[in-house]
Amino acid sequence: MSSLLTKLSRLAPPVPKGTPPEPRPEHTTTEAPGKNAVLDDLRARMQAVLARAEKRAPRPEACLDAPELPFVTRDTPLGALHVRTFHCSPAHAMGRVAVSPGRDAHPDILALLALDPSLAACDPSRALYLDTETTGLSGGAGTVAFLVGLATWEPGPGGTSVFALEQLLVKNLGEEGPMLARVAERVRGASMLVTFNGKAFDMPLLRARFVMARMEAPVEPPHLDLLHVARRLHKPRGVECKLTTLERTLLGFERVDDVPGGEVAACYLHFLRTGDTRAMVGVVDHNAWDVIAMAALVGLYGEPLAESQLGADDLAGVARTLRRAGALQQAHEVADRAATSAPSEHTLKARAEIAKARGDRARALADFEALATHVDCGKVRLELAKLYEHFSKDLPLAQAVVDQGTSEDSVRATRRRERLAAKLEKAHASPKRARGA
């Protein structure tokens, strides 16, 4: 007992209720090296975001409050659901590409480009477009989807269709239930999902949030991830496959005063701490742009192949993807159109590779020869060496091409040289034997 009394005596006396806390001494905390610099950098970045928000949506000088977020609150069995809805008219476009063709996209073409046969039976007019804004980009149990954009095609006036966008905001952490319930409802009613990097990020994150909330995740329909399609079609020609880059290069659309994706989480955390909505207005617009851009891309990728608006080098990517999907005839037609309209490294190589796969070695030889005049490439010379040796039987040309260097390792290159040398020696010896006879 004495030991317990001794310990209690060391405790500070209780502070009476209502007594204001003593002021905290300044500069008593030792911060880790570089921490001040990191905080200063974060503050500077947030000020830049807020400055852009002020520039985007200037407020009257007399208005001292931050702008209201464009959401209405609906009561649900799980709590308050904060929703923003608006419709894009049939004439809406992202740059030079209209959004409405996305409704009538050809599912068989989308299935080929996505290398996913299950998409061929889906109805793009009942697709659900989905994009999330989150508290982090690394995923994990601590990452929350605080803003979800959902869009579908709905009947409009005069028999038209409108692209209806619904955005769900989690205003306070821990209040995800109503948002998750609404997402589950929309996913269950969709014929297919359309996302941009959703297979690797958005959907795994939402599945984790359903588990954390002890809610049943919906059964997901076939999933078209446009990032995978973009990489197949555009990456070979060096296009960065970010959504904003594709908007600029394919759609002709340039965002103005957009919130960069890397700053979205900081904007939300700033909103949670301070209630300041200025930066969040830009995040809401950023999310809406993402969803609408996906609809424009679906319309662009899902056009009939003969009418595609894609450039020749991108059509070369389409042709290669069709070849991977096993649609050789369609791949040949697209590659031939691209190479005929704009002969280039990408289009000639695509047509040559597809011709070789179809067994049209004469076409392949002609294209690889033309390609060799454009590029200095060991792989192209290797293809020429094979065709000269086995198709046109021009052994001296095959040997000359091999001597220039191919992409083979030294062992295989040596074997090829030795085989060609033996064939040439045999060919020279045969006429002599014929004359001696």
Annotation: CATH topology of 72-303: Nucleotidyltransferase; domain 5 (3.30.420)
Tokens of 390: 């086995």
Residue 168's nearest CA partner among 241, 78, 295 is 78
Residue 164: its pLDDT value, please? 97
Residue 246 · residue 288 · CB < 8 Å: no
**pLDDT score, position 43:** 64
Reference 395, options 428, 434, 433; nearest CA is 428
Spatial separation of the C-alpha atoms in residues 95 and 297, rounded to whole Å: 12
- Tell me the whole-structure pTM to 2 decimals: 0.82
Would you say 172 and 148 are in contact if contact means Cβ atoms under 8 Å apart? no
- Cα 420 to Cα 414: distance, rounded to the nearest angstrom: 10
Task: Tally DSSP H helices, then E strands, for the chain.
Answer: 16, 9
What per-residue confidence (pLDDT) applies to 237? 87
Q: What is the pLDDT of residues 245-280, one digit of tens each?
A: 999 999 999 999 899 988 999 999 999 999 999 989
pLDDT value at residue 158: 79
Distance CA 240, CA 421 (A): 45
CATH number, span 308-375: 1.25.40
Q: Which portions of the chain are predicted below pLDDT 50? A: 1-31, 56-64
> E strands of 241-328, at which residues?
none
Cite the beta strand spans of 222-303 per DSSP E.
223-225
What helix, strand, coil percent values describe the chain, rounded to 5?
55, 10, 30
Give the position of tokens 């010379």.
Answer: 381
Domains 72-303 and 308-375 share a fold: no
Q: What pLDDT, on a 0 to 100 scale, did the predictor assign at position 11?
A: 43
Rounded distance, CA 318 to CA 323, Å? Answer: 9
Cβ atoms of residues 406 and 385 within 8 Å: yes
In this predicted structure, what is the pLDDT of residue 36?
66
For the chain, what are the domain ranges?
A: 72-303, 308-375, 385-432
Nearest Cα neighbor of 412 from 386, 390, 393, 388 is 386
Identify whether the C-beta of residue 190 lies closer than 8 Å to the C-beta of residue 221: yes
